[in-house]
């Protein structure tokens, strides 16, 4: 496939770098019944042999580990951090070739990434940082709220309620239709709205794959748990959390 071919070219380019700061790895991940290998890139801090802080980077709705490695990972590594960039459930290689959709309890995913880096590599387990990019700006804080051993979280940009973020642009009429007539809601979004709205077309076309659904109604239903509760917010109180609001995201 074109996707696989693109990955091979990317891997060749990474390997050809003079100092090859990052390597492609496979991180064990279990969903409770089956163990998979999640595609990831590990970028160790090479300044000295001492255990150093590690940033675990979660990408977003339709991003890939390869995109995020250059957008965020290498920049963090240049500044002396160990970095793990991975495709979690619903993302990149993981959803396309392993068939694993998004899950809102992202702490279940991140805890396994943390276990891997702290047991396989020489890292400072007391300075684990979570970085969430785009939709990762919901996923990372959600995991942070449930994982008290994580030292710091960066949400770039922060999302309190992802369902609200994607449903508000529909307007009251379409939301009312979703709640009253799911079949008509599906028809209107697929044949009237999406063909003339590139944003909606993108939300739907990737969302079907990312969330493992086949209709607009099922997608918006699947999005509803993706919000930070009052309890989540309380669990992050008085902990280091940086929320950014980037342009054009």
Q: How far apart are CA 55 and CA 152, in angstroms?
A: 9
C-alpha distances in angstroms, 19 versus 23, 43, 44, 58, 85? 11, 11, 12, 24, 18
Name the band, by pLDDT with cuts 50, 70 and 90, for residue 16: confident
For residue 46, the model assigns a pLDDT of: 76
Query: Which tens digit of pLDDT belongs to each residue from 118-140?
Result: 999 999 999 999 999 999 999 99
Query: Which tens digit of pLDDT belongs to each residue from 107-117?
Result: 999 999 999 99
For residue 25, the model assigns a pLDDT of: 96
Query: Which tens digit of pLDDT belongs to each residue from 54-68?
Result: 999 999 999 999 999
Query: Three-state secondary structure along the chain?
Result: CHHHHHHHHHHHHHHCCCCCCCEEEEEEEECCCCEEEEEEEEECCCCCCCCEEEEEEECCCCCCHHHHHHHHHHHHHHCCCEEEEECCCCCHHHHHHCCCCCCCCHHHHHHHHHHHHHHHCCEEEEEEEEEEECCHHHHHHHHHHHCCCCCEEEEECCCCEHHHHHHHHHHHHHHHHHHHCHHHHHHHHHHHHHHHCHHHHHHHHHHHHHHCCCCHHHHHHHHCCCECCHHHHHHHCCCCEEEECCCCC
The residues facing 52 across adjacent strands are 123
Calculate mean pLDDT across residues 38-55.
87
What does DSSP say about strands 152-156 and 23-30: parallel, antiparallel, or unpaired? unpaired
- R_g over Cα of the chain: 19
> Whole-number mean pLDDT of the chain?
94
Name the band, by pLDDT with cuts 50, 70 and 90, for residue 195: very high
Name the band, by pLDDT with cuts 50, 70 and 90, for residue 50: confident
| Whether 148 contacts 213, CB under 8 Å | no
CA 206 vs. chain centroid, Å, equals 14
Per-residue pLDDT at 19 exceeds 70: no
Per-residue pLDDT at 20 exceeds 70: no
For residue 13, the model assigns a pLDDT of: 85
| Whether 106 contacts 34, CB under 8 Å | no
Per-residue pLDDT at 156 exceeds 90: yes
What global pTM score does this model have?
0.94
Handedness of CA 216, 132, 145, 115 (dihedral sign): positive
Name the band, by pLDDT with cuts 50, 70 and 90, for residue 15: confident
């Amino acid at each position: 496939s074109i996707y696989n071919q693109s990955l091979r070219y990317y891997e060749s380019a990474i390997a050809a770098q003079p100092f090859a700061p990052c390597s492609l790895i496979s991180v064990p991940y279990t969903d409770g019944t089956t163990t998979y290998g999640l595609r990831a890139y590990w970028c160790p801090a090479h300044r000295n042999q001492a255990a150093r802080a590690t940033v675990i980077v979660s990408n977003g709705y339709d991003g890939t580990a390869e995109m995020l490695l250059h957008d965020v990972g290498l920049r963090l590594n240049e500044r002396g951090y160990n970095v793990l960039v991975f495709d979690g459930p619903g993302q990149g290689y993981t959803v396309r070739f392993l068939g694993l959709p998004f899950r809102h309890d992202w702490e279940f995913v991140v805890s396994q990434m943390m276990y891997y880096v702290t047991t396989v590599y020489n890292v400072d387990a007391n300075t684990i940082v979570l970085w969430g990019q785009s939709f990762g700006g919901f996923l990372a804080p959600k995991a942070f709220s449930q994982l008290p051993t994580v030292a710091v979280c960066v949400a770039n940009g922060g999302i309190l309620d992802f369902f609200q973020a994607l449903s508000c642009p529909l307007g009251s009429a379409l939301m009312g239709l979703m709640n009253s007539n799911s079949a008509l809601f599906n028809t209107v979004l697929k044949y009237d709205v999406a063909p003339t709205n590139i944003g909606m077309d993108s939300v739907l076309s990737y969302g079907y794959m990312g969330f493992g659904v086949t209709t607009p109604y099922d997608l918006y239903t699947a999005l509803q748990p993706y919000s930070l509760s009052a309890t989540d917010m309380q669990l992050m109180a008085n902990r280091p959390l940086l929320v950014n609001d980037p342009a054009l995201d």
